[in-house]
Structure 1
Amino acid sequence: MFSVKMIKGCRAGLSAAVTILILAGCGGPQEAAQERAVPVKAVKIIQQDVQIANEYAGQIQAKTEVKIQARVSGHIMEKMVAGGDMVKAGQPLFRIDSLQYESSLLSAQAQLAQAEANWENSRLDTERYENLLQQAAIPEQRLTTQKAAERQNEAVVASYRALVKKAQDDVDSTLVISPIDGRIDVDDVGVGTFVQAGSTTLVTVGSQDPVFVQFNMSENEYLNLRQVSPDNIADGGWGEGVTITLSNGAAYPLSGKVTQVDRGLANNSGTLTLKATLANPEGILIPGMFARVKIAGAPIRNAILVPQRAVQQILDKSLVMVVNAGNQAEPRPVTLGEKVGGFWLVKEGLTADDTVVVEGLTKVREGAALDVTVVTPAELELSINS
C-alpha cells in the first residue's frame, strides 16, 4: 500500500518532468531546423543588355604569298638564303648559271653594233643623194630607193636592240630576288638543281605582317550581322572588332577587321567565306594555324544571365537551384542560350527577381532549408566579358 506522502511525491516528480518536456518542446524543433539548414552561397540574377559574340573556326593565311619561279632555265649555282629565313623585297635568293646567257648577250651586242654601222652609212648616203638631187646629178627615184634602204637598216637596228635587251634581261634573271618582304618556306631547291623557266618553283615566300584569318559563316548569320550594322565593311561597318583565340586557348592580344567577303555562297556548303586582317608585328601568327574567330553579334535587350557554375546538367535537362521565399531549395528547369563570359543566357525559367545557388550545390536537396549568403559576381570573379 502506498502512503499519501508517497503519492504526493510521485505527482510532484511527474509534474516536474512534464514541465521540462514542455520547455524543451517550445524551442527544440526550431533549433533543430536551424541546425539542419545547409550553408550555401547564392547570387541574384543579372538582367542587362548584352552583345553575343558569334564564333567560327578560322585559319591563318599569309596576306600575300608568292611562288617564285625561274624566268630562265639552268642549274642553280648559288643559294643565298636558308629555308625559313626572313627576306626583304629585292633580296637575292638564288643564282642560276649565267654563262650561256652572257654569251648570247655579247653576240646580240655585236650584231647591234654592225647594224648601227650599216644604218649610219645608209643615213650618210641619203644625205649625199639629197645634195646630188638638188644639183640634178641623179634621178629622184635613186634618192627614194636610198631612203627606203635607210629605213630598213633602222628597223634592223631596232630589232637587234630588242635582242640585246632580251639577252640582258636573261642575264639579270639568273639572279633570283624576292618580290616581297616575308618568310620563305623550307621546301626550296638545292644547289645543282636544274630549273625550268616558268615551271619550276624555287621557293615560296609569304608576308608576315599583317595576316589574314579566313572563316565561314552561314547565310542567316551574315544577314543578322548586316541588319545590326548595315554599313559597308569598307566604311567601318559590322566587320570591326574581330578577335581570335589560338589553339592552345590563348587569346591573341590584337583585334582585326573583316576586309574581304566572297562574292557568293559556296555551292557545296551554303556558307559565306570571309577574311579578317590582323596585325602580326611579333610574327606569332603563322600561316596554317587554326583559331577561333569571334565577331560581335546582335545586342540582346534585358537579357537574363545566370552564372555557369549554378547550372546543373541532368541528362538532357538544365537545372538551377533557386532560393524560394522560405529560404528553401527549389529546383528550376531552364532553357539556355549562348555563353556570355562566365554566364549563361537564360531564355526561359528565371526572372530578374530570382536568387540561385552557386556554391554548396552538392549538399542541397529539393525542399532543404538553406542558410544563404548572398554574394556578388565580382566576389566570385565572374565577368560578362571574360
Structure 2
Amino acid sequence: MLSVKGMKRCYASLWAILFIFILAGCGNTKETAQTKAVPVKAVKVIQQNVTLANEYAGQVQAKSEVRIQARVSGNIVEKMVSGGDIVKAGQPLFRIDNTQYESALLSAEAQLAQAEVNLENSRIDTQRYQNLLNANAITEQRVTTQKATERQNEALVSSYRALVRRAQDDVNSTLVVSPISGRIDVNDVSVGTYAQAGSTTLVTVGGLDPVFVQFNMSENEYLNLRQISQNNITNSGWGENVTITLSNGTVYPLSGKVTQADRGLANNSGTLTLKAAFSNPDGILIPGMFARIKIPGIPIKNAILVPARAVQQVLDKSLVTVVSADNKAEPRPVILGEKIGSYYLIKEGLTVNDTVVVEGLAKVQEDMALEVTIVTPEELGLSINS
C-alpha cells in the first residue's frame, strides 16, 4: 500500500497532466478562433469629380417691407383689414377722419375761384387800357401799372391752385392704402386711435414673393467663390443654384440665387453679409424663419471618397479598415476632408484600388481573416447629394 505521502505525490502528478491537457485544449480553441474568417461587408473606394458645397446659417427676410405711417393727422374712423391679412398693392387699409381736410379743400377751392375771377377781370382791364393807350387817351404808366396787377393776379391763381392740390392730397391721404402686395403684421392700430402724421406706424406690410435669405461668409470664402465665377470653373457660376434646408430638415423645393452683397466687411466680425433671393409662390417661407443655406463651391477632380460609416475615430486619428490582397484586415490611418453627403473626402491614405469595410467593424481586429461580401453604395443607401 502507498503511504499518505506517496498518494499526495500521485495526485499532484495527475493534476499536472490534466492541466497540460487543458492548456493544450485552450490553445487549439484560440487557434481555431483565429483561423475562422469574420464575415463583413465592404465597398470599393469611389473616385469621381465632386463639387464641395459651402453651408451657412441664414434667416428669411421679406424682400420688401414697409412701415405704413399716416401722412395726415387724425383719428382712425374705419379699418378695412385685420392683422395677418394678405393685401394687394393699392388696397385700402384704414380711413382717417377727413372732416377738417374736406373743409380746407372747400376753402382753397373758393379762394382759387375768386382769384381766377380777379385774374380774368384784370386781363379785360389790361386789354381796354391798351386800346385807350393806342388812342392816346391815357398815359403809358397807367397801362404798365395794370399789367403789373394782372401778373400779381396770375401769381395768386397759381398759389391758390397749389393750395387746392395740397388740400386734395390731404383728403386723399385720409384713405391709407397698401403701397405693396404682401402680408400685414398683427400689430396694427385700432379704430379710434389718433394717428400723428409722419410718426404713427399704422401697420407693417412685407412682401411674400420673392423673399431673401440673409447669411454671412468669411472674407476667404467670398474670394474663393468669386474666383470660381471669374474662371468659369463651373457651369453654374458663383451664387447660383443655391438651396436651403428648413429647421425641420425639409429641403425647400425651389433653388435661389445670390443677388445682393454688402459693400464691405462687418467691422466686428470680419464677415460679409449676402442675400439670396428665392421664389415663394406658396408662402412657405416667412420672415424670421431660420434656414441652412448651401452654395455650390469648389469643384474637385478625381476625388477619393469613402462612406462615412467606414471611418473610425481613435483619439485624434481617423482610421479605415482596408481589405488586403489576402482578405485580411488592415487598419489604415487617413486624413479626412469635407463630408459630402454620406461620404468623406479622403485627402491622404487611400487609392481608388482599395476596398474598405463598412459593416462588421466591431468584430474586426488587425490581421484577422475576413469573409468579405462586396456591396454597392446603392444597396447601403449611400448618396453624395444627401
| TM-score normalised by the chain length of structure 2 | 0.89
How many Å apart are 1:365 and its aligned residue?
2.2
Give aligned-pair identity as a percent.
Answer: 77
* C-alpha contact (below 8 Å) 1:343/1:384 kept by paired residues: yes
> Counterpart of 2:264?
264
* C-alpha contact (below 8 Å) 2:35/2:369 kept by paired residues: no
> Counterpart of 1:96?
96
- The Cα offsets for residues 33-74 of structure 1, whole Å up to 9 and x where unpaired, read as 697211110001111111100111111111111111110001
> Counterpart of 1:36?
36
Unaligned runs of 5+ in 2: 1-27
- SS for the counterpart of 1:229 is helix
Q: Amino acid of the residue matched to residue 360 of structure 2?
A: G
Q: Amino acid of the residue matched to residue 263 of structure 2?
A: R
Structure 1 residues 236 and 75: CA distance shift in structure 2, 3 A: farther
- SS for the counterpart of 1:334 is strand
> Counterpart of 1:332?
332
How many Å apart are 1:239 and its aligned residue?
1.4
> Counterpart of 2:174?
174
Q: Amino acid of the residue matched to residue 319 of structure 1?
A: L
> Counterpart of 1:60?
60
> Counterpart of 2:149?
149
CA–CA distance in 1 between the matches of 2:379 and 2:237? 37
> Counterpart of 2:24?
none
CA–CA distance in 2 between the matches of 1:236 and 1:156? 64
Q: Amino acid of the residue matched to residue 140 of structure 1?
A: E
Structure 1 residues 236 and 304: CA distance shift in structure 2, 3 A: closer
- The Cα offsets for residues 304-356 of structure 1, whole Å up to 9 and x where unpaired, read as 10101111223332221211122122222222111111101111222212111
> Counterpart of 2:344?
344
Q: Kindly tell me the number of residue pairs found equivalent between the two proteins.
A: 356
- RMSD value, Cα: 1.9
CA–CA distance in 1 between the matches of 2:289 and 2:112? 55
CA–CA distance in 2 between the matches of 1:382 and 1:50? 15
> Counterpart of 1:47?
47
* C-alpha contact (below 8 Å) 1:62/1:206 kept by paired residues: yes
| TM-score normalised by the chain length of structure 1 | 0.89
CA–CA distance in 1 between the matches of 2:367 and 2:231? 54
> Counterpart of 2:200?
200
- The Cα offsets for residues 89-113 of structure 1, whole Å up to 9 and x where unpaired, read as 1000000011111111111111111
CA–CA distance in 1 between the matches of 2:331 and 2:98? 84
> Counterpart of 2:219?
219
How many Å apart are 1:236 and its aligned residue?
7.3
CA–CA distance in 2 between the matches of 1:198 and 1:300? 56
- Give every structure 1 segment of 4 or more consecutive aligned residues whose post-TM-superposition deviation is greater than 4 Å: 31-35
- The Cα offsets for residues 159-189 of structure 1, whole Å up to 9 and x where unpaired, read as 1111111111000000000011111111111
- SS for the counterpart of 1:255 is coil
* C-alpha contact (below 8 Å) 2:242/2:255 kept by paired residues: yes
How many Å apart are 1:223 and its aligned residue?
1.2
Q: Amino acid of the residue matched to residue 60 of structure 2?
A: I
Unaligned runs of 5+ in 1: 1-27
CA–CA distance in 1 between the matches of 2:316 and 2:279? 42
CA–CA distance in 1 between the matches of 2:339 and 2:325? 28
- SS for the counterpart of 1:170 is helix
User: What does 1:171-320 correspond to in 2, within 5 Å?
Assistant: 171-230=171-230, 237-320=237-320
Moved more, 97-106 or 346-355: 346-355
CA–CA distance in 2 between the matches of 1:285 and 1:337? 33
CA–CA distance in 2 between the matches of 1:260 and 1:238? 12
- The Cα offsets for residues 246-273 of structure 1, whole Å up to 9 and x where unpaired, read as 1111100110111111121111111111
- SS for the counterpart of 2:238 is coil
